[in-house]
Amino acid sequence: MAKKMYNVKTVFPVDETVKGNKQTTTKHTDILTEVGSSDVIKLFKSYREGDYKVSCYFQAPIKKEKKNEELSTPFDVAKSLAKQGIDYRATLKIKSKGSYQDMLKAMHLVESEGFDMTVNVKLKINDQTTTNIDDEHTWVDEDPQFKVTPKTGTNNINELKSLYASLNEKGYETIIDIKPKAPKADDMDSEDDAFATQLLAYPDGTMVTFKLSQDND
């Protein structure tokens, strides 16, 4: 079996410095590619030993590089986690944004599958637009951006299968975010082992994001 390789993104805490009446904020992000599982685990350990609070996010690739190889879907990842006894939380997200007419079908699909949703609209208001904030009928006259956010959090990814297939079929960019639930650990070694188990459930090419914050406890 080929060795799995991962991509790793580390988001460090924001660094703020103050000199006189000037405050400077610095954001720092590291990205590593083609990192073996053992090195990812070592990096995770080093952050925790460095007194950081570490939040981990896993984003599986849409498909694998090699031709004629089976697609790696969110359902494959969930199945792999379930086989290892790891609970997870799956959330379907619609990445596409567009006009009212563009997103209307997505709203109908979400509603027909029985999910609640939030619809946010970004209005463009300036001297060149005819949008009147006091007249809601003008809100669709220009080019507002509608964002549809279904309330789809579930512990069973199969509940999302129909909606996921329907949205993709209609051309909407749709993802399912899977967040493994780490077993409660009584010590650092147990938490390290839990992370290693989660990591190995994900396929080759997965993006692993470490978001670091200062551990003040």
Q: What is the mean pLDDT of residues 177-202?
A: 71
More confident residue, 29 or 139: 29
Residue 64 has pLDDT above 70, yes or no: no
Instruction: Please give the share of the chain, as a percent, with pLDDT higher than 90.
Output: 41
Q: What is the mean pLDDT of residues 193-217?
A: 82
Least-confidence region, from 79-83, 145-149, 153-157, 171-175: 79-83
The pair of structure tokens assigned to 36 is 């073996």
Q: What's residue 144's pLDDT?
A: 78
pLDDT tens digits, residue range 98-145?
Answer: 988 899 999 999 999 999 999 998 877 777 777 777 777 766 655 778
Reduce the secondary structure of 78-128 to three states and give it as a string.
HHHHHHCCCCEEEEEEECCCECHHHHHHHHHHHHHCCCCEEEEEECCCCCC
CA-atom Rg of the chain in angstroms: 21
DSSP 154: B
State how far the Cα of 65 lies from the Cα of 196, in Å rounded to an integer: 24
Q: What is the mean pLDDT of residues 194-216?
A: 84
47: burial class by Cβ within 10 Å (0-12, 13-18, 19+)? middle
Domains, the chain, in order of start with CATH, read 1-86+183-217 (no CATH), 88-180 (3.30.70)
Residue 191 has pLDDT above 80, yes or no: no
Element holding 85 (H helix, E strand):
none
Q: What's residue 196's pLDDT?
A: 85
pLDDT tens digits, residue range 131-143?
Answer: 777 777 766 655 7
The pair of structure tokens assigned to 132 is 């009147």
Residue 30 has pLDDT above 70, yes or no: yes
Q: How many residues does the chain have?
A: 217
Do 138 and 132 form a contact (C-beta atoms < 8 A)?
A: yes
State how far the Cα of 86 lies from the Cα of 207, in Å rounded to an integer: 19
Helices first, then strands: H and E counts in the chain: 5, 10
pTM metric for this prediction? 0.63
CB atoms within 10 A of CB 104: 13
CB contact set of 18 (below 8 Å; sequence gap of 6+): 24
Do 97 and 103 form a contact (C-beta atoms < 8 A)?
A: yes
Q: What's residue 70's pLDDT?
A: 43
Instruction: Please give the share of the chain, as a percent, with pLDDT higher than 70.
Output: 85
